Amino acid sequence: MTEAEIIRQIKTKGFKITSQRRAIIEALLVPDRPPTAQDVLEIVRDKYPYVSLDTVYRNINLLAEIGCVIKINLKNNEKSRFEILKHHHHHHLICLGCGEAVCLEKCLLDKHMDVLKDQGYKIVGHAFEIYGYCPSCCDTAE
Ligand SMILES: [Zn+2]
Ligand SMILES: [Zn+2]
Ligand SMILES: [Zn+2]
């Protein structure tokens, strides 16, 4: 999604565009790999020195709720990373060595979701991550 598409989505869902919110969206689009909330905060603070981590979290969570951002749950105590949704809903392989998040082609859970829906469950979302080591980290992972 581009910044303009995200802003359109926010408006469609009935939320306001503030300059701070816009700065947070821009910050999410800057790094090469999905940033943590802390990364976003540091970028936003260049322009808005008084923004709090709490504000960043609230805005990112809102973006996740309306489907503009994917939350990548990392193992260990590492902070979650957030990725602007580029094409479609998908999941990640997280490298435990370097922290790289590799985007997987497509979601394989649709089938399970259909089964659950048929059984009368209302599904509101799901999270799914694969943990491992990327090829270049494999050597060091014993
Ligand atoms: Zn790696
Ligand atoms: Zn991805
Ligand atoms: Zn999925």
- Give span(s): CATH 1.10.10.10, the chain: 1-86
Ligand 1 centre from 108 Cα, in Å?
A: 23
The whole-number pLDDT of residue 85 equals: 84
The whole-number pLDDT of residue 142 equals: 54
Residue 137 has pLDDT above 90, yes or no: yes
The string of pLDDT tens digits covering residues 3-57 is: 899 999 999 999 999 999 999 999 998 878 889 999 999 999 999 999 999 999 9
Ligand 3 centre from 47 Cα, in Å?
A: 35
3-class DSSP string for 7-41: HHHHHHCCCCCCHHHHHHHHHHHCCCCCCEHHHHH
Burial (CB count within 10 angstroms: exposed 0-12, middle 13-18, buried 19+), residue 26: middle
The CATH number given to 1-86 is: 1.10.10.10
Alpha-carbon gap, residue 101 to 129, rounded angstroms: 10
Ligand 2 centre from 120 Cα, in Å?
A: 30
The string of pLDDT tens digits covering residues 43-100 is: 999 999 999 999 999 999 999 999 899 888 887 667 889 998 876 788 999 998 888 8
Q: Any idea which ligand is nearest the CA of 85? A: 2
The CATH number given to 88-142 is: 3.30.1490.190
- 17, 7 Cβ separation under 8 angstroms: yes
- Give span(s): CATH 3.30.1490.190, the chain: 88-142
Ligand 1 centre from 29 Cα, in Å?
A: 22
- 82, 71 Cβ separation under 8 angstroms: yes
Ligand 3 centre from 117 Cα, in Å?
A: 15
Classify strands 129-132 and 101-103 as parallel, antiparallel or unpaired.
unpaired
Query: Taking the model in full, what pTM does it have?
Result: 0.73
Alpha-carbon gap, residue 45 to 34, rounded angstroms: 18
Task: Give the CB-side neighbour count of residue 60, counting CA atoms within 13 A.
Answer: 28
Ligand 3 centre from 127 Cα, in Å?
A: 7
Helix/strand/coil for 69 = strand
Ligand 2 centre from 63 Cα, in Å?
A: 15
